[in-house]
Amino acid sequence: MAQALAPKGGKGPIAMAIGDDCSEIVPDPGHSILLTTDTMVEDVHFRLSYFTPYILGRKLASVNLSDIAAMGGSPLGALLNLEVPPGLSDPANPFWPQFIKGLSEQLARYNAFLIGGDTVKTTCNRLALTLSLLGQVKQGRAIYRHGAKPGDLIYCSGPLGESACGQKVLDSKRFFLPLPVKRRLVKRHLDPEPRLALGQALANVGVSAMIDISDGIATDLGHIAKSSGVRANILASALPIPRSVRIFAQRLRHHRPLDFVLFGGEDYELVWTVPARNEKKMQKALLPILKRPAIRIGYMTEGEGVWLLEAGSKREITFMGYEH
Amino acid sequence: MAQALAPKGGKGPIAMAIGDDCSEIVPDPGHSILLTTDTMVEDVHFRLSYFTPYILGRKLASVNLSDIAAMGGSPLGALLNLEVPPGLSDPANPFWPQFIKGLSEQLARYNAFLIGGDTVKTTCNRLALTLSLLGQVKQGRAIYRHGAKPGDLIYCSGPLGESACGQKVLDSKRFFLPLPVKRRLVKRHLDPEPRLALGQALANVGVSAMIDISDGIATDLGHIAKSSGVRANILASALPIPRSVRIFAQRLRHHRPLDFVLFGGEDYELVWTVPARNEKKMQKALLPILKRPAIRIGYMTEGEGVWLLEAGSKREITFMGYEH
């Protein structure tokens, strides 16, 4: 199905796309290859009751593009593996062209293309999707999780918590919310935007570690802290709480808006650390992309774990993140 | 699970393996990247009643390695996507270390390593496995399906049909066969050997097109014929029929041994075309690898499709291959 519907032939660095034993990609000289993959299973990671095929294809692309962004890289080509349940096994089902359109248009926005894959039938009643995305980055320029040092400052690219609220809205129809709030939360869950231009800019200004926020900042910053062997300190007062998250949290009992910000997953913003000496250069480089300063939310010290500093108290929140 | 069990850290061209947003690979200068992927679903592509976890991991590696072989490339690193059903969801299940051992040992035999992946739970009761394998080949040296010309000779690397017979043996216990025959057929199905050294040698001696035999030679040679815009003519008398296939076919009614050779899948031998002027050089280069001459089974002419020439008659057999 992927083979029938995906664009054929070479483009740019793609020497051979769909139609041979392997795809062939010629990376730019002096670049290394980045490779990432994500699997999404129906009723575990998404429901077809609220994903249109187009938006589902788009999100599958976005979550993988976000991993390339988090290394400071540029995407090139993707392999799509489909496990097709009996209910979707007719190749003429309009589901497929819409899904492939969403996927390939989102890839193309960032100059990446569908270059291969494998389509198999499953006797299981759930659609399963795997995308593996190949990108490139200048040798020596990739930003890892393990480079943070004590004294580095912690930054994040945008508002957090909206995607987790959006998922709760989608899973239960019983929330009465102003329509613009509802729309915004749901859109942030269904259609996150990978921060590629931002990640690429950050790779050029001396940041020390970076990750994308897929499992909540408490968990993802926990990966940076653990890999780097340092402690991350988040200032609760510095974390922006989106208005939509505040409004949504009011509708629930026993939920602080801050909990969505800290523990909600799938925002696909970037969080990174930067030595203080590179802070000004960084802000200057990001302004044309973000149109506002990036948000400083804390700092690294000797130690381990992720700690939340709030009104004179502190508590550890390492890996207290989102579970799919 | 893959993340817990796979070898960590960089090795050779692997700059970053498991433990970041992406894996990072530094290809050798002047090389392009090859990428292939295969998905195997329980009860569609394999049964756990006759695959040990070790051999299952090994076969998942082999079928992907075979695609790299068919381009003349060298494997580097692999991403593993696991969809884990409830019955296998305990990470302490001995299934997992055995499976990972089979997979990573087979990759390591060919200097490739597990460098990343994604493990998700599924509510479905079937295990699903996707491996995406990245390799490299000297720029301009990859052998495609589309290079065959009229006059080229068709060669194949080894005996065909045994894997398909082996699968029938495994699916039904009612065949009474001599034990060595049974063992050989079953082994060829469960544990095929990717022809990497052979593929790499062929990329250096001027062959014009190549493919690995996963769906039967009638289908796979059909891909070469179609991509190249020429006709493949197979001489029935030149196709070796393994003794084991002959013995097995005698046990079945209405099955010619030749049918297994032509239409049986999953042998993972290579089939390729070579201009007559390069034939001698090719045989000389292959002798140290095969320890015998490669088998010439036919020739290309103007036209289309795959044709079987047998006892003065001819019939078209294009794409009459194996269905998983």
Q: Give the mean model confidence (pLDDT) for residues A20-29.
A: 89
Task: For residue B33, tell me if it sits in a domain.
Answer: yes
- The reply to whether residue A22 touches residue B145, judged by beta carbons under 8 angstroms, is no
Minimum-distance CB partner of A126 among B39, B45, B124: B124
CA distance A186 to A167: 7
Looking at the structure, tell me whether residues B165 and B309 fall in a common domain. yes
Count of alpha carbons within 13 Å of B65, Cβ hemisphere only? 28
CA dist., res. B4 & res. A208, Å (int): 26
> What's residue B176's pLDDT?
83
**Residue A132 and residue B79: Cβ atoms within 8 Å?**
yes
Q: Is B103 or A25 the better-scoring residue by pLDDT? A: B103
Query: Across the interface, do A68 and B116 touch by the CB < 8 Å criterion?
Result: no
Contact B24 A130 (CB under 8 A): no
What pLDDT band is residue B189 in, cutting at 50, 70 and 90? very high
| B121 vs B154: CA distance, rounded Å | 46
Examine the domain organization and report whether B266 and B169 are in the same domain.
yes
- Kindly state the average pLDDT of the residues B280-301: 95
pLDDT confidence of residue B308: 97
Q: For A79-86, what is the mean pLDDT?
A: 96
Give the mean pLDDT of A129-151.
Answer: 95
Pick from A80-94, B6-20, B142-156: least confident = B6-20
B196 assigned to some structural domain: yes
User: Which residue in the set A34, A45, A83 is minimally distant from B22, CB to CB?
Assistant: A34
Is residue B146 included in any domain, yes or no?
no
Output the domain CATH number for residue A169: 3.90.650.10
Q: Which of B31, B103, B119, B34 is closest to B63 using CA atoms? A: B103
Of B21, B37, B41, the CB nearest to A116: B37
Q: Tell me: do A203 and A311 sit in the same domain.
A: yes
CB B128 to CB A128 under 8 A? yes
Domain presence at residue B144: no
Instruction: Name which of B28, B33, B65, B271 to mutate to probe chain A: the one with the most chain A Cβ atoms within 10 A of its Cβ.
Output: B33
Nearest to B35 among A23, A29, A123 (CB): A23
In a domain, B147, yes or no: no
Residue B323, pLDDT score: 52
pLDDT band at B172 (very low <50, low <70, confident <90, very high): confident
Burial of B52 (0-12, 13-18, 19+ CB in 10 A): middle
| Same structural domain, A199 and A279 | yes
Mutate to test the interface with A, among B8, B16, B34, B35 (most CBs of A within 10 A): B35
Where among B110, B138, B166 does a domain terminate? Answer: B138
State how far the Cα of A165 lies from the Cα of A171, in Å rounded to an integer. Answer: 10
| Claim to verify: residue A71 and residue A203 sit in the same structural domain | no
CA distance A165 to chain B (A): 22
Segment A55-69 shows an average pLDDT of 98
Residues B89 and B34 in one domain: yes
- DSSP per residue, A129-193: EEEEEEEEEETT----STT--TTPEEEE-S--SHHHHHHHHHH-TT----HHHHHHHHHHHHS--
Contact A24 B33 (CB under 8 A): yes
Residue B145 confidence (pLDDT) above 60: yes
Q: Are residues A118 and A227 in the same domain?
A: no
Evaluate whether residue A279 is within a structural domain. Answer: yes
Report residue B317 as tokens: 């057999």
d(CA A55, CA B39): 24
CA within 13 Å, CB half, B145? 25
Residue of A nearest to B37 (CA): A117
Cross-chain residue pair A36–B26, CB shorter than 8 Å: no
| Nearest of A3, A106, A6 to residue A64 by alpha carbon | A106
Confidence of residue B175 (pLDDT cuts 50, 70, 90): confident
Query: How near does any CA of chain B get to the CA of A180, in Å?
Result: 33
The DSSP 8-state label assigned to residue A86 in this structure reads G
Are A168 and A298 part of one and the same domain? yes
Instruction: For residue A63, name the pLDDT band (cuts at 50, 70, 90).
Output: very high
Asked if residue A117 and residue A233 are part of one domain, the reply reads no
Split at pLDDT 50, 70, 90, the class of A2 is very low
Instruction: Pick the range with the lowest mean pLDDT from A190-194, A288-292, B11-15, B28-32.
Output: B11-15
Using the predicted structure, report yes or no on whether residue B42 has a pLDDT greater than 90.
yes
Which residues of chain B lie closer than 8 angstroms to A212, CB-CB?
21
pLDDT category of residue A11 using cuts at 50, 70 and 90 = low
Average pLDDT over residues A182-199: 96
Confidence of residue A21 (pLDDT cuts 50, 70, 90): confident
In terms of Cβ atoms closer than 10 Å to its own Cβ (0-12, 13-18, 19+), residue A240 is middle
Strands B295-301 and B153-156: antiparallel
Contacts of B245 (CB under 8 A, 6+ apart): B159, B161, B162, B165, B185, B257, B260, B261
State the residue range of the domain holding B36: 2-138
Maximal C-alpha separation, chain A: 62
pLDDT band at residue A324 under the 50/70/90 scheme: very low
Residue B172, strand partner residues: none
Tally of structural domains, chain B: 2
With CA atoms as reference, the chain B residue closest to A147 would be B20
pLDDT value of residue B21: 87
If asked whether residues A106 and A75 sit together in one domain, one would say yes
CB contact under 8 A, A123 and B125: no
Q: How far is B68 from chain A (nearest CA, A)?
A: 7
Nearest to A22 by CA among B232, B104, B76, B30: B76
In Å, the largest CA–CA distance within chain B is 62
- Whether the pLDDT of residue A57 is over 90: the answer is yes
Does A122 or B1 have the greater pLDDT score? A122
Contacts of B33 in chain A (CB under 8 A): 24-27, 33, 134
Distances in whole angstroms, Cα of residue A27 to Cα of each of A70, A141, B28, B139, B191? 19, 15, 11, 11, 34
Residues of B in contact with A23 (CB under 8 A): 34-36
Domain closes at, from A138, A169, A189? A138
User: Residue A323 pLDDT more than 90?
Assistant: no
Nearest Cβ partner for B134 among A16, A35, A71 = A35
DSSP calls for A191-238: S----HHHHHHHTTTT--EEEE-SS-HHHHHHHHHHHHT-EEEEEGGG
- Percent of chain B beyond pLDDT 70? 95
CATH of the domain at B43: 3.30.1330.10
**Whether the predicted pLDDT of A7 surpasses 60:** no
Give yes or no for residue B322 having a pLDDT over 80. Answer: no
Give residue B196's pLDDT: 97
Instruction: Please tell me which residue of chain B has the smallest CA distance to A38.
Output: B118
**DSSP labels, B39-108:** EEEBTTTB-TTT--HHHHHHHHHHHHHHHHHTTT-EEEEEEEEEEE-GGG--TT-THHHHHHHHHHHHHH
Cβ–Cβ < 8 Å for A318, A263: no
**CB B21 to CB A71 under 8 A?**
yes
Q: Which residue has the tokens 């429901």?
A: A47
CB nearest B68 (choices: A22, A43, A116): A22
Give the rounded percent of residues in chain A with a pLDDT score beyond 90: 82
* Helix (H), strand (E) at residue A99: helix A95-109
Q: What average pLDDT does chain A have?
A: 92
Please answer whether residues A274 and A132 qualify as being in contact, where contact means their C-beta atoms are separated by less than 8 angstroms: no
Residues B72 and B202 grouped into a single domain = no
Say what the pLDDT of residue A300 is.
Answer: 98
Of the residues A138, A165, A183, the one at which a domain ends: A138
Residues 6+ apart with CB under 8 A from B170: B47, B50, B186, B189, B190
pLDDT tier for residue B3 given thresholds of 50, 70 and 90: very low
Interchain pair B77, A35: CB under 8 A: yes
Is residue A6 pLDDT above 60, yes or no?
Answer: no
- In this structure, the dihedral spanned by the alpha carbons of residues A197, A202, A205 and A209, taken in order and rounded to 10 degrees, is -170
Chain A / chain B CB contacts < 8 angstroms: 201
Higher pLDDT among residues B29 and A56, named by residue: A56
Determine the average pLDDT of the residues in A27-56. Answer: 95
Whether the model clears a pTM of 0.90, i.e. scores above it, the answer is yes
| List of chain B residues whose C-beta atoms are within 8 Å of the C-beta of residue A68 | 21-22
Please report which confidence band the pLDDT of residue B121 belongs to, taking 50, 70 and 90 as the band edges.
very high
Burial class (CB in 10 A: 0-12, 13-18, 19+), B101: middle
Name every chain B residue with its beta carbon within 8 A of the beta carbon of A29. 29
Query: Does residue B323 lie within any of the structural domains?
Result: no
The DSSP secondary-structure symbol of A46 reads: B
Does residue A45 sit in the same domain as residue A178?
no
Answer whether residue B324 shows pLDDT above 80. Answer: no
Query: What mean pLDDT is reported for chain B?
Result: 92
Number of Cβ atoms within 10 Å of the Cβ of B288: 9
Residues of chain B found within 8 Å of residue A137, distances taken between Cβ atoms = 24
Per the model's pLDDT, the better-predicted residue between A176 and B254 turns out to be A176
Q: Is residue A147 part of a domain?
A: no
B75 confidence band (pLDDT: 50, 70, 90): very high
The enclosing H or E element of A301 equals strand A295-301
Instruction: Please indicate whether, in this complex, the C-beta atoms of A130 and B135 are within 8 angstroms of each other.
Output: no
Tokens of B149: 């010309």
State pLDDT tens for residues B265-275. Answer: 999 999 999 99
